[in-house]
C-alpha cells in the first residue's frame, strides 16, 4: 500500500499485477474501504492481464479530508487525480454501488480517461428507481455504527447477511473482513459526508446517454438494497451497454460468483481493445 497526493488530498492506494499491463481501477462503495475488494478478487483480475489499482475513497480507510462537504463529482476527480499521479492516461474503470456512481461520473466528466466502464449494483442517480427493501432499510436505520470493535464487527456481519447473496453468505469471511476493516480504520467520521455526496449527486441518465465508451452493467437479481430495476435502467441509459443480471446475487460479490464477474469485466475490456 502507498499514498499519493492527488486532487488536493492524500489518497491511499494499492496495486496488483505487472506495471506494464493495462490499468484497471476499482472504486468501492459507500463507507467501504478499498480492502472491501478482496485481495484474491484483485489477483484474479490481475491474472487476466491487468494492472489492478484499488484505493480508499475520501473519508474511507486511510484517505481523509478536512471535513468540508463534497460531491460525487469531487470523488470522481479524486479517481482521475490518482490515475494522473500514477502516470496513467486512461484505465478500465470498475465501480460497485456508490463506486458505480463515481465510475459513471468519471466517464461523464473525463471520457478520455476511461477505456471501459463497469458499473456493479449501482444506479443512474434516479433515487426513485433504487427500490430498497423496507426491512433492509429499517435494519440499517435501527442499527447505527458503534464505537467498540466487537460491536462494530457484529453490526457489519448482520448487514452483510441482510444484503448479501442468500446461500452464499460466508459468516467467517464476513467477520474476518469486518475485523480487518476495523483494525485498519475504525472511524465513522466521514459517513455522513459520503451520504450527503450521494444525495446531491442528481440524475445522470441524460449524461450517460452521451457516453461512447464500451460499458457493462452487472446487477444481482436478488439485490435488496438496490433493486435490479435500477441496474436495468442504468444499462438502458448507456448506449450499447451490456447488462449482466446474475440470478440469486444480492448486494455483494460472493466468491462463488467471482469467475463470472471477472470474465464479464475482461470481456468489456476486450471490446474496448477491439474498438481502437
- Give the whole-angstrom CA distance, residue 115 versus residue 77: 16
- Give the whole-angstrom CA distance, residue 136 versus residue 193: 22
Q: Any bridge partners for residue 15, and if so which?
A: 53
What DSSP line would sit under the chain, residue for residue? -EEEEETTEEEEEEEES-TTSEEEEEE--TT--GGGS-HHHHHHHHTTTEEEEEEPPTTBTTB---S----HHHHHHHHHHHHHHTT-S-EEEEEETHHHHHHHHHHHH-GGGEEEEEEES--SS-GGG----HHHHHHHHHS---SSHHHHHHHHHHHHHHHS-TT---HHHHHHHHHHHHHH----TTHHHHHHHHHTS---HHHHTT--S-EEEEEETT-SSS-HHHHHHHHHHSTT-EEEEETT--SS--GGGHHHHHHHHHHHHHHHHHH-
Grid coordinates of 249: 446475487
Of the candidates 269, 270, 267, 225, the residue with the CA atom closest to the CA atom of residue 250: 225
- Give the whole-angstrom CA distance, residue 119 versus residue 136: 22
Cα 79 from chain centre: 12
- Give the whole-angstrom CA distance, residue 212 versus residue 95: 18
Tens-digit pLDDT string for the chain (276 aa): 788 998 899 999 999 999 899 999 999 999 999 999 999 999 999 999 999 999 999 999 999 888 899 999 999 999 999 999 999 999 999 999 999 999 999 999 999 999 999 999 999 997 766 778 888 888 777 766 777 999 999 999 999 999 999 999 999 999 999 999 999 998 888 888 999 999 888 899 999 999 999 999 999 999 999 999 999 999 999 999 999 999 999 999 999 999 999 999 999 999 898 776
Of the candidates 274, 125, 103, the residue with the CA atom closest to the CA atom of residue 198: 125
- Answer yes or no: CATH 3.40.30.10 is held by domain 2-131+190-275: no
Predicted pLDDT at 108: 98
Q: Determine whether 181 is exposed, middle or buried from the number of CB atoms within 10 Å of its CB (0-12, 13-18, 19+).
A: buried
Predicted pLDDT at 214: 97
Of the candidates 261, 270, 259, the residue with the CA atom closest to the CA atom of residue 92: 270
Kindly calculate the radius of gyration of the chain based on its CA atoms and give it in whole angstroms: 17
Domain boundaries, the chain: 2-131+190-275
Residue found by looking up cell 453468505 in the block? 169
- Give the whole-angstrom CA distance, residue 96 versus residue 99: 5
Residue found by looking up cell 462503495 in the block? 29
Predicted pLDDT at 143: 65
Amino acid at each position: 500500500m502507498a499514498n499519493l497526493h492527488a486532487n488536493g488530498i492524500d489518497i491511499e492506494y494499492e496495486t496488483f499485477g505487472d506495471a506494464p499491463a493495462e490499468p484497471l481501477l476499482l472504486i468501492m462503495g459507500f463507507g467501504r474501504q478499498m480492502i472491501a475488494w478482496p485481495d484474491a478478487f484483485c489477483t484474479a483480475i490481475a491474472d487476466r492481464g491487468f494492472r489492478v489499482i484499488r484505493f480508499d475513497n475520501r473519508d474511507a480507510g486511510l484517505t481523509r479530508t478536512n471535513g468540508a462537504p463534497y460531491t460525487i463529482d469531487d470523488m470522481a476527480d479524486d479517481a482521475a487525480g490518482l490515475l494522473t499521479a500514477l502516470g496513467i492516461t486512461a484505465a478500465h474503470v470498475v465501480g460497485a454501488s456508490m463506486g458505480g456512481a463515481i465510475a459513471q461520473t468519471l466517464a461523464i466528466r473525463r471520457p478520455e480517461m476511461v477505456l471501459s466502464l463497469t458499473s456493479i449494483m449501482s444506479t443512474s442517480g434516479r433515487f426513485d428507481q433504487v427500490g430498497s427493501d423496507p426491512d433492509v432499510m429499517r435494519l440499517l436505520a435501527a442499527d447505527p455504527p458503534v464505537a467498540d470493535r466487537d460491536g462494530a464487527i457484529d453490526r457489519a456481519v448482520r448487514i452483510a447477511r441482510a444484503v448479501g447473496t442468500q446461500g452464499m453468505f460466508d459468516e467467517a469471511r464476513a467477520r474476518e473482513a469486518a475485523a480487518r476493516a476495523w483494525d485498519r480504520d475504525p472511524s465513522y467520521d466521514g459517513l455522513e459526508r459520503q451520504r450527503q455526496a450521494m444525495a446531491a449527486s442528481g440524475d445522470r441518465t441524460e449524461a450517460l446517454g452521451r457516453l461512447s465508451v464500451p460499458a457493462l452493467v452487472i446487477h444481482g437479481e436478488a439485490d435488496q438494497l438496490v433493486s435490479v430495476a435500477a441496474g436495468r435502467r442504468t444499462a438502458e441509459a448507456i448506449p450499447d451497454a451490456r447488462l449482466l443480471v446474475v440470478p440469486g446475487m444480492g448486494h455483494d460479490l460472493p466468491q462463488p460468483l467471482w469467475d463470472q464477474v471477472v470474465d464479464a469485466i475482461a470481456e468489456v475490456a476486450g471490446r474496448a481493445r477491439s474498438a481502437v
